């Protein structure tokens, strides 16, 4: 018997209920922060229940006074009844207001927390999800969690309290009516058990379909220019209609199930109500109870039936809640980026900011999750006041190397470190002392491995248009909030952007539309470079960041950068060899390695371009 019990418990933990249990525990991690809020909301609901029950009692007395079965002051009783009804209305309004306020507050706090956790989730893992799917999970699913945290447990307590208190009144005044409270319970329990799996599957299908629709809309609106240019309007309208057709079919399927369930529950509720009416009439005719008592019982019967239905409706609520929790857990439980070395990075920067910081990549190996090998024993180095180029055909790994340097991706083997500028002496990962090898009072600031914490030492200009909507000044101050107007103009001059910005009617306060709209690709690139320079980081990464510039402007921008007195290390990835002869070193990606090109090879590339 014990073995059977253990087996069943194991099946529950491993199966659907076990999954829901794990998701409920995860939700509790948020719910525990709002227990005072939930207590307040629960108390409001319980007070409302008490007032409603008192109203039933006063209503009974009023009916008995009118029918002559009871003597009393009709005006006083009627006034008390009005007062209780007004009180109930006031409590309901107060409860609704408190619920709306607290719901918005909790929703904002939980979304902010989940947003911050998504941002520190491992980037490579996060890219497996479509942006539209992430938006749906962060928006709809996070809102479901916040509403569930505030409402589910308080409502469960309120409904139970309402059912128990109403049932106690029935038992006290006439136990024979109590049986009607449970007539619909077997049907509700059977339905809950039968529909559990279907509800879970339906919720998952609905969430996945919502994410699909959101992803389609987000991509379509972001690429309207491409859709128009290729004359794809009819194609995308047809795709939208197909998605809408699938969505409607899914919703109708859900609606059919809901209609069938509601029809059955409503039929049971009607049968229970009519049975209560019949039994009440019989008890009045036999003088067992008064008209007022029958009225009260009918009211309480409706309360019991409705409350039982509410309790049953919590089943799909908890299913929807745990489904949303599971979708968020898929994201939140991904590997997190490690920022534990922030203090060490700050100390390292302070020790080397005067002379600059060098970058060393030593025998790096990296392969994508699908097994494609990108690097095998790749090495390179770059030092302050140098422009180092990384060249190669598209798709050979230039951007991947930049992402590895930024710790957006993790190499399988090899080392990537930052070191002080000490006569270009190369360091390897073994030269860096880890936190485990040194005590807290003697941590080495001579060299540190690349981690997410070291990103604060980089400025980065990626491929494509990366300007945000807002003004030019706001874009600049994203990386340096206290930047003065003079500082912004200085970096605009360095990036050759001031030539066109000063001609704008509003200068640096000119608006930039979404995705850099209103500016050419070359202008947006120069603004992106200016923003990176304003950050004043010791290492600058330009990933095809000058691809939209003409050769003369490209060379001028790079010369301006290196003419600056700041000890900046600059790494440029490019497929254009036009600027290679001003670089200190040129690395070409060949056979999954970074090979230094000699002057003849560089000249040959320049001539052959």
Give me the half-sphere count of Cα atoms (radius 13 Å) on the Cβ side of residue 561: 35
Q: Strands of 585-590's sheet, edge to edge? A: 458-461, 539-543, 569-574, 386-391, 585-590, 593-596
Q: What is the pLDDT of residue 171?
A: 81
Chain region(s) in the chain for CATH 1.20.1560.10: 18-332
Tell the residue number behind the tokens 């329990």, with chain if given: 189
Tell which residue, 458, 476, 477, has the closest CA to residue 543. Answer: 458
585 pairs with which residues across the strands? Answer: 388
Tokens 């795709």 belong to 239
d(CA 48, CA 158): 9
Phi-psi region of 345 (alpha: psi -120 to 50; beta: other; left: phi over 0): alpha
Sites in the chain below the pLDDT cut of 70: 1-16, 68-72, 178, 180-201, 203, 262, 265, 269, 273, 421-445, 608-609
Q: Supply the DSSP string of 539-585, one letter for each residue.
A: EEEEESTTTTS-HHHHHHHHHHHHHSSS--EEEEEES-GGGGGGSSE
Nearest to 571 by CA among 465, 488, 458, 492: 458
| Strand-strand pairing, 447-449 and 413-420 | antiparallel
Residues 93-118: b if buried by 16+ CB within 10 A, e if exposed: eebeeebeebbeebbeebbeebeebb
Check: CB of residue 297 under 8 Å from CB of residue 60. no
Burial of 404 (0-12, 13-18, 19+ CB in 10 A): buried
Lookup: tokens for 75: 């005006």
Q: Pinpoint the residues of the chain covered by CATH 3.40.50.300.
A: 344-608
- Which fold does the domain 18-332 belong to in CATH? ABC transporter transmembrane region fold (1.20.1560)
Alpha-carbon distance of 159 to 89, in angstroms, equals 18
CA dihedral sign of residues 363, 364, 367, 372: negative
Question: Could you give the 3-state DSSP secondary structure of residue 410?
Answer: coil
Distance CA 164, CA 173 (A): 14
pLDDT, residue 571, reads: 93
Contact call for residues 514 and 520 (beta carbons, < 8 A): no
User: How many CA within 13 A on the CB side of residue 487?
Assistant: 15
Give the per-residue pLDDT at 441. Answer: 38
Distance CA 122, CA 408 (A): 7
The architecture that CATH gives domain 344-608 is 3-Layer(aba) Sandwich (3.40)
**Other CB atoms within 10 Å distance of the CB of residue 248:** 11
CB 539 within 8 A of CB 457: yes
For residue 336, give the nearest of 562, 548, 125 by alpha carbon: 125
CA–CA separation, 389 vs 228, rounded Å? 37
Q: Please state, as a whole number, how many other Cβ atoms lie within 10 Å of the Cβ of residue 535.
A: 17
355/238 Cα distance (integer angstroms): 60
452-467 residue pLDDT tens: 999 999 999 888 777 8
């Amino acid at each position: 018997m014990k073995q059977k019990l253990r087996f069943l418990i194991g099946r529950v933990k491993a199966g659907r209920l076990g999954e829901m249990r794990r998701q409920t525990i995860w939700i509790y991690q948020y719910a525990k922060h709002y227990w005072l809020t939930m207590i307040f909301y629960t108390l409001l609901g319980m007070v409302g229940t008490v007032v409603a029950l008192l109203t039933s009692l006063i209503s009974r007395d009023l009916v008995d006074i009118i029918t002559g079965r009871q003597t009393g002051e009709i005006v006083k009783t009627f006034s008390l009844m009005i007062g209780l009804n007004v009180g109930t209305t006031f409590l309901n309004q107060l409860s609704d207001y408190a619920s709306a306020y607290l719901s918005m507050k909790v929703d904002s706090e939980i979304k902010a927390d989940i947003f911050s956790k998504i941002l520190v989730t491992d980037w490579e893992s996060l890219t497996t999800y479509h942006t539209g799917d992430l938006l749906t999970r962060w928006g709809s699913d996070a809102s479901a969690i916040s509403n569930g945290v505030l409402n589910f447990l308080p409502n469960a307590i309120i409904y139970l309290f309402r059912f128990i208190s109403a049932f106690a009144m029935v038992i006290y005044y006439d136990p024979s009516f109590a049986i009607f409270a449970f007539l619909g319970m077997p049907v509700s329990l059977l339905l809950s058990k039968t529909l559990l799996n279907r509800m879970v599957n339906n919720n998952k299908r609905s969430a996945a379909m919502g994410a699909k629709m959101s992803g389609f809309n987000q991509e379509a609106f972001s690429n309207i220019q491409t859709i128009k240019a290729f004359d794809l309007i009819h194609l995308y309208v047809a795709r939208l209609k197909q998605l809408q057709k699938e969505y409607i079919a899914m919703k109708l399927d859900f609606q059919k199930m809901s209609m069938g369930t509601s029809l059955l529950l409503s039929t049971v509720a009607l049968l229970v109500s009519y049975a209560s009416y019949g039994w009440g009439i019989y008890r009045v005719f036999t003088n067992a109870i008064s008209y007022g008592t029958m009225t009260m019982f009918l009211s309480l019967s409706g309360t019991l039936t409705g409350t039982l239905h509410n309790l049953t409706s919590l089943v799909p609520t908890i299913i929807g809640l745990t489904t949303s929790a599971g979708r968020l857990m898929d994201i939140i439980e991904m590997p997190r980026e490690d920022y534990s070395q922030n203090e060490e990075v700050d100390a390292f920067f302070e020790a080397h900011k005067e002379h600059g910081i060098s970058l060393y990549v030593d025998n790096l190996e990296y392969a994508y999750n699908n097994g494609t090998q990108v690097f095998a024993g790749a090495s390179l180095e770059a030092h302050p006041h140098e422009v180092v180029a990384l060249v190669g055909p598209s798709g050979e790994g230039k951007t991947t190397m930049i992402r590895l340097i930024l710790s957006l991706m993790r190499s399988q083997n090899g080392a990537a470190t930052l070191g002080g500028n000490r006569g270009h002496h190369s360091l390897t990962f073994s030269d860096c002392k880890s936190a485990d090898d040194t005590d807290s009072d003697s941590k080495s600031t001579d060299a540190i491995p690349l981690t997410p914490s070291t990103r604060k030492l980089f400025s980065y200009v990626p491929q494509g248009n990366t300007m945000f909507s807002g003004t030019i000044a706001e874009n600049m101050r994203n990386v340096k909030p206290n930047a003065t107007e003079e500082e912004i103009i200085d970096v605009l001059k360095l990036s050759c952007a001031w030539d066109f910005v000063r001609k704008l009617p509003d200068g640096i306060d000119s608006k930039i539309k979404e995705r850099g709209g209103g500016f050419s690709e070359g202008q947006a690139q120069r603004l992106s470079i200016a923003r990176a320079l304003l950050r004043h980081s010791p290492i600058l990464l330009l990933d095809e960041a000058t691809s939209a510039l003409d050769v003369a402007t490209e060379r001028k921008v790079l010369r301006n950068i290196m003419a600056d007195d700041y000890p900046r290390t600059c790494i440029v990835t490019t497929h254009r060899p036009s600027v290679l002869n001003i670089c200190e070193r040129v690395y070409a990606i060949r056979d999954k390695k970074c090979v230094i090109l000699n002057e003849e090879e560089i000249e040959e590339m320049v001539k052959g371009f």
